[in-house]
Structures are given as structure tokens and as C-alpha cells.
Amino acid sequence: MELVRRGAPLRAALSGVALLGFAATVSAQPAGRPATAPAPAAVVAPAVAPERTSAQFGDWTLTCAQAGAERLCEIMQVFHDQQRQPVAALALGRPGKDQPQRLTFRLPVNVTVGRPVSLLLDTEAGSLPFRACAGSACQADLELRDEALLRRLRARTAEQPGRLEWVDAGGRDQGVAVSLRGFNAAMDALARETR
């Protein structure tokens, strides 16, 4: 999974360039505003290269890429600023076939890294410590060794968004709403792709 391993695709997204070749499939929405329309059926977007594919599931995008002998897939939600430029992304996938899933959040470097990103689902559901900051982005992630958090995410409806919160470099609280519209369909597709 390129986002978790290297972060290069998200750096491209954070600078306004296509993210893993699926910018056309990412629905533009202001940061923090979850969509409320029902999730559409998956639509396969044109791939940049034959070994890369993507499909849209509501506010989530499934992207797969060939990495040597392995096919690596992740689902992702991209967050946009008021000018509809991508500014952050949340991804879920496995960095390798036999490794546990990771929930990874990438955002601009204007953060306080001493305090982890909090994932809230009514109450705090997880804490994503910062792992690295390089170039124009910082990465916080959480290894999902059990299915408890995924079960909580799957149990929520599109009308029950989650929230990611962090502290910026100036000490101000920041956050974005995490839409769960299309999450279950994207997770089902991810499971099919990674069998």
C-alpha cells in the first residue's frame, strides 16, 4: 500500500496533483462536511496504468496497484479545503498481504506531533500517533490488530460521521468530519480484492 509505505501518492494529492490516478473519482466536498446523499454503486474510473485500478463507493475510493508480485489495495477518503483542493487523506489497507491493516491519516505539516490524532465515534475510538513528517505532509497511523474499531465503523450509518481531531502548530484544535457514506461497500470491495 503506497500511502502507508512511502506516502508519495498522498504528497501528490496534498499538492493538488492526482492521488494514485483517481482524482477524477474523488468527490469534491469541503473539509468537515460529510455528504448525505445515498452511496452510489461502484464506478470504475480509468486507470493511469494497466496495473492500477480504482472504484468509488460514496465518499470512499478503493485503489489497487501492483507492487511486484503483490497486488496492494486501500480505501481512502480525501478531505478538501474551501477551494476544493485536497489537504488531507484517511486510508485503510494492508502494507503487505500478511500484515495487519493500518488506518493512516496524512495532513499538512502544520501540526503538533507530540499529541496524536484522535478518531472520535461519539467517544474516542482510537489514537493515531504521528509516525513521520516529510516534505509537505505528516503521517499518523494506527495498526488494527483486531476488528473492534472496524466493527464500530461498520455499525455507523452515513448520518453518523466520525471525526478526526488534532492540534496545529499554533496550539489550536483542528478537525475534519469523516463521512461513512459508502464505507461498508468500500470495505467489502477491499476484502474481495485482498483475498
Tell me the pairing of strands 52-57 and 60-67: antiparallel
- The residues that bridge with 74 in the sheet, in sequence order, are 63, 93
pLDDT for 70 equals 86
Query: Each residue of 176-188: pLDDT tens digit?
Result: 999 999 999 999 9
Give the tens place of pLDDT for each residue, 101-158.
Answer: 999 999 999 999 999 999 999 899 999 999 999 999 999 999 998 889 999 999 999 9
Helix (H) or strand (E) holding 88: strand 86-93
**Could you tell me if residue 33 is inside a domain?**
no
Q: Phi/psi class of residue 182: alpha, beta or left (left: φ > 0; alpha: ψ in -120 to 50)?
A: left
pLDDT digits (tens, 9 = 90+) for 5-37: 333 333 333 332 223 322 222 223 333 444 333
Total domains, the chain: 1
Instruction: Kindly give, in sequence order, each residue whose CB lies less than 8 Å from that of residue 172, ignoring residues fewer than 6 positions away.
Output: none
Q: Alpha-carbon distance 141 to 119, whole Å?
A: 11
Q: What is the CATH number of the domain that holds 188?
A: 2.60.40.1880
Q: Is residue 34 in a domain?
A: no
Cβ atoms within 10 Å of 135's Cβ, excluding its own: 12
57, 189 contact by CB (below 8 A): yes
Do 169 and 110 contact (CB within 8 A), yes or no? yes
Whether 39 has a pLDDT exceeding 50, the answer reads no
In a domain, 32, yes or no: no
Q: What is the span of the domain harbouring residue 166?
A: 2-27+40-193
User: Which pTM does this prediction carry?
Assistant: 0.74
Buried/exposed code over 88-125 (b: 16+ C-beta within 10 A; e: otherwise) = bbbbbbbbeeeeebbbbbbbeeebbbeebbbbbbeeeb
